[in-house]
Chain A
Amino acid sequence: DQQVKQNSPSLSVQEGRISILNCDYTNSMFDYFLWYKKYPAEGPTFLISISSIKDKNEDGRFTVFLNKSAKHLSLHIVPSQPGDSAVYFCAASVGGSQGNLIFGKGTKLSVKP
């Protein structure tokens, strides 16, 4: 069973608008969450993270929100730019263990000019 789910395989957004990427998880022991961006033929690039003691973390145009009661997190990109077009992976970790990451299957974001 998938512990980290990204239910939208793709998302298309107009340049300048907000992109919202969603991620759900089932394991209540997860206490650290990350988002990665991946361009074709490149390795994933770390984008932003949040620990379970917070409900929001912001870095420039990127904000991650965590709703622990719903076991849901989202990544907001405002404003969206064509260069943001990539596959976005959500990942979760259980602290105190080796901290291995469990990844979702990814959401392909297309930002149209």
Chain B
Amino acid sequence: DAGITQSPRHKVTETGTPVTLRCHQTENHRYMYWYRQDPGHGLRLIHYSYGVKDTDKGEVSDGYSVSRSKTEDFLLTLESATSSQTSVYFCAISGRTSGSFASYEQYFGPGTRLTVT
């Protein structure tokens, strides 16, 4: 299994507070992703990173920001948490290189369950 950890694994927070979730990898993979999983929606991409300090928005980026100052760490911040951001958040990594179909797979962390009350 790819070396991916997420912290915290569980968090309860109040509406309006900032929250930061951390993803840490030991695989030296270039690409990192943040998804949320909600019933009836599958997995939806929030933000992704294609290198240190290189990030871009995904499908559901509103209310979220990310930062990547080191290859191994990708942080997801909820600037002011809302109840609609109650979800399970997954980080993923990919060692994809251009032109290599075999490396398009993404490998997921164990998830963070976030509850916003």
The reply to whether the CB of A101 lies closer than 8 angstroms to some CB of chain B is yes
Q: Name the contact of B45 in the complex, choosing from A6, A34, A101 (C-beta under 8 A).
A: A101
Tell me the complex Cα distance, A100–B33, Å: 9
Chain B, interface residues (CB within 8 Å), range: 20 to 34
Q: Are B110 and A42 touching (Cβ within 8 A)?
A: yes
Given A36-B108, A49-B105, 18 new contacts (CB under 8 A) = A34-B105, A42-B110, A42-B111, A43-B4, A43-B92, A43-B108, A43-B109, A43-B111, A45-B108, A46-B107, A93-B104, A95-B104, A98-B31, A103-B43, A103-B44, A104-B42, A105-B41, A105-B42
Q: How many residues of A contact B (CB 8 A)?
A: 24
Which residues of chain B have C-beta atoms less than 8 A from A104's C-beta? 42
Q: Name the contact of B111 in the complex, choosing from A36, A41, A51, A106 (C-beta under 8 A).
A: A41
Summarize B's interface: helix, strand, loop or mixed.
strand
The reply to whether the CB of A32 lies closer than 8 angstroms to some CB of chain B is yes
The smallest C-beta distance from A48 to any residue of chain B, in angstroms, reads 10
Q: Are B42 and A103 touching (Cβ within 8 A)?
A: yes
List, sorted by A's number, 27 A–B pairs whose CB atoms are closer than 8 Å: A32-B101, A32-B104, A34-B104, A34-B105, A36-B108, A41-B111, A42-B110, A42-B111, A43-B92, A43-B110, A44-B108, A45-B108, A46-B105, A46-B106, A51-B101, A89-B43, A95-B101, A98-B56, A99-B31, A99-B94, A101-B43, A101-B106, A104-B42, A105-B40, A105-B41, A105-B42, A106-B42
Q: Are B45 and A100 touching (Cβ within 8 A)?
A: yes
